[in-house]
Structure formats: structure tokens, C-alpha cells
Amino acid sequence: MKLLRFGDVGSEKPAVLINNEILDVSAFGEDFGEKFLETNGIVRLQEWLKKNTHLPKVSSGARIGAPITRPSKIICVGLNYTKHALESQMDIPKEPIIFFKSTTALVGPNDDLIIPRNSMKTDWEVELAVVIGKKATYVEEKNALDYVAGYCLHNDYSEREFQLERNGQWVKGKSCDTFAPLGPYLVTKDELPNYNSLHMWLKVNGKTMQDNNTDDMIFEVPFLISYISQFMTLLPGDVISTGTPAGVGLGFKPPIYLKAGDVITLGIEGLGEQRQLAKAWS
């Protein structure tokens, strides 16, 4: 099943994508967030859809929001693709590099990218995001997928000066408004069993910058869930963004960074596509 949300910012409604049509499921009475997931909402919604087959269609021009309400955490994994670590001139990590991204960065998949005030080094990162489906603490790797609700496409935007040159942790370069476009939909795990073998790509102004596959991850999804759960409790709706392949702007010689007017498109096999227009902060 593919879950999504549509409507104006702050007023999104729940929907599902069935046979390439977006259907409004507001009558189900729940939005897609922590409570929905922790109360077995995906199964309950599937059962409800069997009995409610005549649902309003959503206009093709409707804005698509993030597929889940604001989660308690967005947890990112750094340098999780070998070639990306090398292009960043950093050592291959022996353990996952974990950092947070502010949940206020969360936006819809096609919302504008706002380049932050004083930014000169805003960069892109196509990533596979995992959405947690139930509370997870000290999870064993062999059981980790039991805690997954589904997967999403994520663009982990980064301001490299803020991230790498301003001291402290990476979170400063990761958390600006609009830096976490998610979606267009959450694909439940039963529809994406090959999560570890998905083609992923990103283009800037039509030029391919990233073109790789999730099979190039250093640390795979089950290990990441287990590892992170040793340090913190994961709640339903939490997002784990699993890292980006080579081809980020930082890795070019000289580096390439985004400017107002640039168009960024990206996608992951089975998870849809995104499109953002870069605009200057005002």
C-alpha cells in the first residue's frame, strides 16, 4: 500500500495511491502519524478499504505533503556508501555515523527548496528513508525488519559550510527549513521486499549527478535499525535516512552547489520521484 498526504501546508489530509489514482481517505478518521502506526493503523486501513471502495479522487493538481505527520526524530546515517565517503575525502566508517536532522526541515516532495540566508554551499543527497512502525529498543538485527512500517524517498539537503566549517555537529548543516523533502508516498514494506537493491538517481537542471543502487550501502537497513536502537528508543513514525551515494556537489572538483533557479529532480525505484525548485531565502 502507498500512503500519502495532500493539501495546503499544515492542513494535509490522508490519502492512498491505488491504480495510479490518489484517493482521499479522510473518512477513515486518522492522519498518518505516531498514533496511527502504533495502533496497527496500516492493517486497519487495509481492512477499511475493503469495505469502502467508493472514495473521493484527489485532484491531479493538489499539493502533496510529506507522507507522515512530523515524526519525533529524523535520524540520518553519514558516509554509508563507499564511493561517497571517498569523494568526501573521509575514512570508511567502522561504525555508522549517526546525526539528527531537525523535524522542522520536513516538507513535501515537490515543495520549493529555500536556500538558507548566507548559504554558499547548499548540496543535494538522494537517500532511502526507513519509517519505523512500532516502538523499538535494543532490537536484534535478525528481527529488525519487524519494526519497519515502510520506505520513502528523501532528499537530505546539506549546507556544507554550516556542516563542516562552523564547528560542532553536522546537524547545523542539515536542519534548515525545507531541507527534508519526503515522499511522495510511504510504501509499506510488503510492497518493497527488495529495499536493498533499488536504483536511485538525482539530477540538477536535467544533468545526472547521482546514479547508483542501494546495494552499495556499507551498513544495511536491518543493521542500522538494530544499531541505532542500542542508543535511543525509536518511535512509530521516526525516520531513518540511510545515506547517499557518490555524486554530491561537494565531491566535484571544483565543488558544485545549488543556486536560485536550479531544478532538482530525484527518484528511487518503487518510491516515486521528487522535484524541487531552488529559491533564495527572503
Measured CA distances, 263 to 80, 103, 244 (Å):
26, 23, 19
Does residue 88 carry a pLDDT above 90? Answer: no
pLDDT at 90: 75
**Chain segment 194-246, per-residue pLDDT in tens:** 999 999 999 999 999 999 999 999 999 999 999 999 999 999 999 999 999 99
**Count of CB atoms situated within 10 Å of the CB of 140:** 11
Q: In what order do the strands lie in the sheet with 199-204?
A: 113-115, 272-280, 263-268, 199-204, 207-213
Pairwise CA distance, residues 34 & 234, whole Å: 11
Pairwise CA distance, residues 273 & 265, whole Å: 7
Alpha-carbon dihedral angle through residues 250, 251, 252, 256, given to the nearest 10 degrees: -20
Pairwise CA distance, residues 182 & 279, whole Å: 18
| Residue 36's pLDDT band (cuts 50, 70, 90) | very high
**Chain segment 255-278, per-residue pLDDT in tens:** 999 999 999 999 999 999 999 999
pLDDT at 84: 80
pLDDT at 89: 79
pLDDT at 166: 92
**Chain segment 118-139, per-residue pLDDT in tens:** 999 999 999 999 999 999 999 9
pLDDT at 270: 98
pLDDT at 170: 92
**Chain segment 147-172, per-residue pLDDT in tens:** 999 999 999 999 999 999 998 889 99
Measured CA distances, 148 to 136, 142, 153, 166, 276 (Å):
10, 13, 15, 35, 27
pTM above 0.75, yes or no: yes
